[in-house]
């Protein structure tokens, strides 16, 4: 079979549906990556327009352009959109597009999940846009501090849009993170051991794990606040045992890692692009990986620096101040490794490199002002002034937007397969970078002169007028620059001539394919022996197209790729991907109805759509795998391999592990909240404890024992133990709830409801999964009989046993002890 015939055969198998239908049914990472990026850019434009409205309003003192009502919605939505609907999804889009290509595989681990996440993002984002257009957008600032954002300060629907819309969008962050983690760990080209992984993949891995552990506190906080708003459960109302500070902790427990979740992908892009531009190799690969990992870990210990002015005890201030300055160290390691890389090579000033220089100039300033505000006494003056506004834009624009522009120009030939012909990009550069510094540099000073953030206008005579006027004019110059970038990208994509395959002479695998890439990425999968495979074997692309790698034979007529051993990269099994389907979009639309029901308080819609989501999910998983055993199959080289359905650790098992990591962080945050209220909130202990009897203890113990044992026995007998076990735990939970019948009485009662509710939900999940696997066994599905499906179900039921055990204990212990 020659290269062209192979291309045709593979395209038939992998192609998305033609025309408009293809947009809704595609599960292909190249399509979805592009769609993610396009929507993220759309939100950047919206956020940018809001920024321009802000700057227009602040250009002169006593401006009557916008009143406080509108201004408050505008800055809240600007921050919210930029953080949640632009930066994170832009990273997701880039990773979804690039990772499989860089790693030398054909798609992400869970193609339908990619699509599901994308549509959740689109639907959730549309809710936010609707709120903006209808004039009922959230207006409590992007960190939504209660009580201002709760019913006391915001009785309207505005806050609900934020809490519900953003939570909906976070589904896409979590699903993309699971996806990226499993892909980087298990879906690489054979031979690509961890130490041969492209550096971007390391950064993506760290970022994804951070999303899994960073977002759950926010999701929990949003749920608690929405429960308070909708059902009066007083988590943040001090009179009834709540505490406004709980929100601030949960929010910043997410919010600080968020900053690094935004920065790390950019650093990954820099570490990829800079060596190519400098025509050398990255200096200190191991150090850079270690720096990225330690940034990820450290960033979870810093959140309190956003709360230095809330009256944190003295020792706490010292600790968090030290920790906050410490993160500058791994950042410095990276910066100096990059400078070292430059000095090793012969850098040339292409547009991506120009943007990287802009990154250095901007981000270093942002980092230095960051160290300043980590010093507590200085923060007491600078906090909540324009000094902070300037600092955060130096970090976010310098540390994310500029590197992403470098990435855009660097990978544009890959996206479009064309030469960058028109040079509008250079003009844009010279508008954006000076425009940016003109906008924000002097605003530091305005902050020190006492200009508070979030004021809708100001009086003249305080020395701020000139600064603000300069800032506004520069802001508009910068926007013209961004508009030029957009025009540049569009016309280059539309009319420029076709370019060569590897225009930058890079060494990573994404350049080992014709561009724009075919839907299957690689006609056959490479065997990798170093970090830059293309430098070792310049003829690799041709050999892959000829089918000399793995899985080059399309005769099985289905979407196949290889799954590898995590550390060594040795091939382990064949994964068969699902084809095009509208199911992910459908399921996210039904998920949207669930959130819409909450938003509009049409509560009958909520359970109906929950059932709908479950049905979609069951249908989704039912279609996986087949009923015939295939045994080991040839893959082109070396040993024959089993398919994913016949191994003990299929992709679903790995996905579950990381989903449970996020889930466990959620539960951990809930326990943190419970302990926090107990120890810090003023009106504790509660007037009365739930005092469950011995029956609860016995039921929980027996239930946990049976439910833990069941899945470890023979299938039929196992179910007979599991079901009563889950039942016993559920009964114990419900008995406790009967002792605290009114969740609005005190934050204690409300917390017990959430704890037990969480446990009951997971018991139900375990039940459904066990029955589902049993049904699949009866239907003769290989995965349920000899494959890993029973292990997946067991993972979830073990988790359910664990969390319900802890929940019952945490709920009942105070009552038992007194």
Please, which of residues 240-269 interact with Cu ion by CB under 5 A?
A: 256
Selection from Cu ion, ligand HEM, another protein, none that 428 binds (CB < 5 to 8 A by kind) is none
Q: How far is the CB of 59 from another protein (least distance, A)?
A: 16
Closest residue by Cα to residue 551 from 539, 542, 563, 565? 563
Q: Which stretch binds Cu ion (CB under 5 A): 115-123, 233-241, 382-390, 681-689?
A: 382-390
Closest residue by Cα to residue 813 from 760, 748, 758? 748
Residue whose CB is less far from another protein, 347 or 692: 347
Q: How far is the CB of 60 from another protein (least distance, A)?
A: 15
Please identify which residue in 10, 35, 39, 51 interacts with ligand HEM, judged by CB under 6 A: 51
**Two tokens, residue 193:** 């051991």
Contact code string over 19-48 relative to ligand HEM, x by CB under 6 A: -----------------------------x
Contact code string over 220-259 relative to another protein, x by CB under 8 A: ------------------xx---xxx--------------
Residue reference for tokens 């505490």: 243
Largest Cα separation within the chain, whole Å, is: 82
Please identify which residue in 78, 306, 414, 762 interacts with ligand HEM, judged by CB under 6 A: 78
| CB-based burial, 4-33: b 16+ in 10 Å, e otherwise | eebbebbeebbbbeeeeeeebbbbbbbbbb
Q: Which stretch binds another protein (CB under 8 A): 382-390, 406-414, 473-481, 525-533?
A: 382-390
Residues 671-700 that bind another protein (CB under 8 A): 681-683
**Two tokens, residue 652:** 């679903």
Between CA 731 and CA 737 the distance in angstroms is: 10
Question: Which residues is 574 bridged to in the sheet?
Answer: 562, 643
Please identify which residue in 76, 149, 272, 669 interacts with ligand HEM, judged by CB under 6 A: 76
Verify cis geometry, omega within 30 degrees of 0, for the bond prior to 685.
yes
Q: Is 504 in the site for another protein (CB under 8 A)?
A: no
Q: Is 346 in the site for another protein (CB under 8 A)?
A: yes
Residues 606-625 that bind another protein (CB under 8 A): none
Please identify which residue in 69, 384, 640, 742 interacts with Cu ion, judged by CB under 5 A: 384
Q: Is 437 in the site for ligand HEM (CB under 6 A)?
A: no
Is 430 in contact with 351 (CB distance < 8 Å)? no
Q: How far is the CB of 353 from another protein (least distance, A)?
A: 10
Selection from another protein, ligand HEM, Cu ion, none that 483 binds (CB < 5 to 8 A by kind) is none
Contact code string over 274-293 relative to ligand HEM, x by CB under 6 A: --------------------
Please identify which residue in 54, 412, 616, 782 interacts with ligand HEM, judged by CB under 6 A: 54
Does an H or E element contain 564, and which?
strand 559-564
Q: Which residues contact 92 (CB under 8 A, 6 or more apart)?
A: 36, 117, 121, 172, 173, 176
Residue reference for tokens 């045709």: 8
3-class SS letters over 37-96: HHHHHHHHHHHHHHHHHHHHHHCCCCCCCCCHHHHHHHHHHHHHHHHHHHHHHHHHHHHH
| CB-based burial, 728-757: b 16+ in 10 Å, e otherwise | bbbbbbebbbebbeebbbbbbbbbbbbbbe
**Nearest residue (beta carbon) to Cu ion:** 256
Residue whose CB is less far from Cu ion, 384 or 691: 384
Between CA 789 and CA 651 the distance in angstroms is: 10
Q: How far is the CB of 424 from ligand HEM (least distance, A)?
A: 18
Report the alpha-carbon angle 618-624-630, nearest 5.
150
Selection from another protein, Cu ion, ligand HEM, none that 256 binds (CB < 5 to 8 A by kind) is Cu ion
Q: Is 309 in the site for another protein (CB under 8 A)?
A: yes
**Nearest residue (beta carbon) to ligand HEM:** 79
Between CA 379 and CA 382 the distance in angstroms is: 5
Q: How far is the CB of 244 from ligand HEM (least distance, A)?
A: 17
Please identify which residue in 413, 425, 475, 718 interacts with ligand HEM, judged by CB under 6 A: 475
Please identify which residue in 22, 61, 284, 668 interacts with another protein, judged by CB under 8 A: 284
Residues 123-142 that bind ligand HEM (CB under 6 A): 141-142
Between CA 231 and CA 39 the distance in angstroms is: 34
Contact code string over 102-141 relative to another protein, x by CB under 8 A: --------------------------------------xx
Q: Is 396 in the site for ligand HEM (CB under 6 A)?
A: yes
Selection from ligand HEM, Cu ion, another protein, none that 627 binds (CB < 5 to 8 A by kind) is none
Between CA 616 and CA 503 the distance in angstroms is: 44
Q: Is 70 in the site for ligand HEM (CB under 6 A)?
A: no
Is 515 in contact with 551 (CB distance < 8 Å)? no
Between CA 28 and CA 37 the distance in angstroms is: 14
Q: Which residues contact 610 (CB under 8 A, 6 or more apart)?
A: 594
Please identify which residue in 39, 88, 197, 342 interacts with another protein, judged by CB under 8 A: 342
**Two tokens, residue 413:** 């030939």
Please identify which residue in 6, 7, 55, 188 interacts with ligand HEM, judged by CB under 6 A: 55
Q: Are strands 571-577 and 559-564 parallel, antiparallel or unpaired?
A: antiparallel
Q: How far is the CB of 278 from another protein (least distance, A)?
A: 8
Between CA 659 and CA 176 the distance in angstroms is: 11
Closest residue by Cα to residue 722 from 759, 676, 763? 763
Between CA 359 and CA 353 the distance in angstroms is: 10
Residues 55-84 that bind another protein (CB under 8 A): 68-69, 72
Report the alpha-carbon angle 795-669-261, nearest 5.
90
Residues 86-115 that bind ligand HEM (CB under 6 A): 87
Q: Is 401 in the site for ligand HEM (CB under 6 A)?
A: yes
**Interface size with ligand HEM, residues (CB under 6 A):** 24
Q: Which stretch binds ligand HEM (CB under 6 A): 184-192, 341-349, 393-401, 551-559?
A: 393-401
Q: How far is the CB of 375 from another protein (least distance, A)?
A: 4
Please identify which residue in 7, 188, 306, 393 interacts with ligand HEM, judged by CB under 6 A: 393
* Contact residues: ligand HEM, CB under 6 A: 48, 51, 54-55, 75-76, 78-79, 82-83, 87, 141-142, 389, 393, 396-397, 400-401, 439, 453-454, 475, 478
| Residues within the interface to Cu ion (CB under 5 A) | 256, 384
């Amino acid at each position: 079979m020659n290269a062209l015939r192979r291309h045709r055969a593979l395209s038939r198998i992998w192609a998305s549906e033609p025309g408009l239908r293809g947009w809704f049914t595609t599960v292909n990472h190249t399509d979805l990556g592009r769609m993610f990026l396009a929507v993220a850019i759309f939100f950047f434009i919206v956020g940018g327009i809001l920024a321009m409205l802000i700057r227009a309003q602040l250009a002169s003192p006593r401006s009557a352009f916008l009143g406080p009502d509108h201004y408050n919605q505008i800055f809240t939505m600007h921050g919210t959109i930029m953080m949640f609907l632009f930066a994170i999804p832009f990273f997701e889009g880039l990773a979804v597009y690039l990772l499989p290509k860089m790693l030398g595989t054909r798609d992400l681990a869970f193609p339908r999940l990619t699509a599901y996440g994308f549509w959740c993002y689109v639907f959730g984002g549309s809710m936010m846009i609707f709120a903006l257009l209808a004039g009922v957008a959230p207006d409590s600032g992007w960190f939504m501090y209660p009580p201002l954002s709760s019913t006391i300060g915001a009785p309207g629907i505005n806050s609900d849009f934020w809490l519900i819309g953003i939570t909906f969008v976070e589904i896409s962050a979590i699903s993309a993170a699971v996806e990226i983690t499993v892909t980087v760990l298990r879906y690489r080209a054979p031979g690509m051991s961890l130490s041969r992984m492209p550096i971007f993949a390391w950064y993506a891995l760290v970022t994804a794990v951070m999303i899994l552990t960073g977002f759950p506190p926010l999701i929990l906080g949003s749920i608690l606040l929405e429960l308070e708003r909708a059902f009066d459960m007083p988590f943040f109302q001090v009179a009834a045992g709540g505490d406004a500070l709980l929100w601030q902790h949960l929010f910043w427990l997410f919010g600080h890692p968020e900053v690094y979740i935004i920065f790390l992908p950019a650093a990954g892009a820099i570490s990829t692009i800079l060596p190519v531009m400098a025509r050398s190799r990255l200096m200190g690969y191991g150090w850079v990986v270690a720096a990225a990992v330690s940034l990820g870990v450290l960033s979870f210990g810093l959140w309190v620096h956003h709360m230095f002015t809330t009256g944190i005890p003295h020792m706490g201030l010292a600790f968090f101040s030290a920790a906050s300055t410490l993160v500058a160290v791994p950042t410095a390691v990276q910066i100096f490794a990059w400078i070292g890389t430059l000095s090793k090579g012969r850098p040339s000033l292409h547009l991506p490199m120009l943007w990287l220089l802009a990154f250095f100039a901007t981000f270093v300033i942002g980092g230095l002002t960051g160290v300043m505000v980590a010093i507590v006494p200085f923060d007491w003056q600078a906090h909540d002034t324009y000094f902070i506004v300037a600092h955060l834009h130096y970090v976010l624009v310098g540390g994310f937007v500029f590197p992403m522009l470098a990435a855009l120009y660097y990978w544009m030939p890959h996206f479009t397969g064309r030469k960058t012909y028109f040079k509008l990009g250079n003009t844009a550069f010279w508008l954006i970078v000076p425009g940016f510094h003109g906008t924000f540099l002097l605003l530091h000073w305005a902050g020190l002169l006492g200009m508070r953030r979030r004021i809708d206008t100001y009086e003249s005579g305080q020395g701020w007028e000139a600064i603000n006027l300069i800032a506004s004019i520069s802001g508009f110059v910068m926007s013209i620059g961004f508009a030029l970038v957009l025009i540049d990208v569009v016309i280059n994509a539309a009319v420029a001539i076709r370019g060569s395959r590897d225009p930058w002479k890079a060494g990573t695998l994404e350049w080992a394919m014709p561009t724009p890439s075919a839907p299957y990425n690689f006609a056959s999968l490479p065997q990798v022996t170093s970090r830059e495979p293309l430098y070792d074997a310049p003829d690799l692309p041709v050999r892959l197209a000829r089918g000399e790698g793995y899985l080059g034979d399309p005769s099985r007529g289905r979407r196949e790729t290889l799954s590898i051993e995590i550390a060594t990269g040795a091939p382990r099994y064949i994964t068969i991907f699902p084809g095009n389907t509208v199911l992910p979009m459908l399921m996210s639309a039904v998920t949207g109805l669930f959130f819409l029901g909450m938003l509009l308080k049409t509560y009958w819609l909520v359970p109906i759509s929950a059932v709908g989501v479950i049905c979609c999910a069951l249908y989704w998983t039912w279609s996986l795998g087949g009923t015939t055993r295939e045994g080991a199959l040839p893959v082109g080289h070396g040993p024959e391999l089993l398919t994913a359905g016949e191994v003990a650790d299929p992709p679903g098992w790995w996905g579950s592990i990381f989903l449970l990591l996020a889930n466990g962080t959620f539960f951990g945050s809930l326990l943190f909240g419970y302990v926090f209220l107990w120890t810090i909130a003023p009106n504790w202990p509660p007037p009365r404890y739930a005092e469950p009897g011995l029956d609860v203890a016995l039921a929980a113990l027996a239930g946990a024992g049976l439910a833990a044992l069941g899945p470890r026995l023979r299938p039929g007998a196992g179910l007979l133990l599991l079901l009563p076990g889950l039942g016993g735990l559920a009964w114990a939970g419900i008995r406790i709830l009967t002792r605290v019948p009114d969740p609005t009485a005190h934050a204690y009662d409300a917390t017990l409801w959430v704890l037990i509710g969480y446990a009951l939900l997971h018991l139900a999940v375990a039940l459904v999964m066990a029955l589902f696997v049993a049904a699949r066994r009866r239907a003769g599905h290989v995965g349920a009989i000899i494959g890993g499906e029973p292990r997946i179900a067991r993972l979830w039921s073990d988790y359910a046993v664990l969390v319900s055990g802890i929940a019952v204990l945490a709920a009942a212990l105070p009552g038992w002890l007194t």
